[in-house]
Amino acid sequence: MNRAAAASRVATMLPWAWLLVFVAAPLVVVAKISLSESAVAQPPYRPRWSWTLDPAAWQAFADGLGLDSYRALLADDLYWRSALASLAIASAATAILVLVGYPVALAMARAPKRLRPVLLAIVILPFWTSFLIRVYAWIAILRPAGLLDAALGLFGLPPLELLNSTPAVLIGIVYAYLPFMVLPIYAVLERRDPALLEAAADLGAGTVATFRTVTLPLSRPGLASGVLLCFVPIFGEFVIPDLLGGSDTLMLGRTLWSEFFGNRDWPLASAVAIVMLLALALPLAWLRESGLRRGDARR
Q: How far is the CB of 244 from another protein (least distance, A)?
A: 11
* Buried-state track 236-246, b at ≥16 Cβ within 10 A, e below 16: bbebbbbbbbe
Q: Which is nearer to another protein, 210 or 249 (CB)?
A: 210
Provide, rounded to whole angstroms, the least separation between the CB of residue 220 and another protein: 19
Residue 278's identity, in one-letter code, is L
Q: Considering beta carbons, is residue 65 or 107 the nearer one to another protein? A: 107
Minimum CB separation of residue 231 from another protein in Å reads 10
Minimum distance from CB of 66 to another protein (Å)? 15
C-alpha–C-alpha distance, residues 10 and 18, integer Å = 12
CA 174/CA 37 separation, integer angstroms: 39
**Nearer to another protein (CB atom), residue 59 or residue 191:** 191
Query: What are the start-end ranges of the H helices in the chain?
Result: 2-19, 25-34, 55-63, 68-75, 77-110, 116-128, 131-142, 147-154, 166-190, 194-202, 207-210, 216-218, 220-235, 239-244, 252-257, 266-298
31, 48 contact by CB (below 8 A): no
Q: How far is the CB of 188 from another protein (least distance, A)?
A: 15
Instruction: Choose between 28 and 56: whose C-beta lies nearer to another protein.
Output: 28
Q: What's the 3-state SS for 256-278?
A: HHHHHHHCCCHHHHHHHHHHHHH
As measured in angstroms, the least distance from the Cβ of 73 to another protein is 15
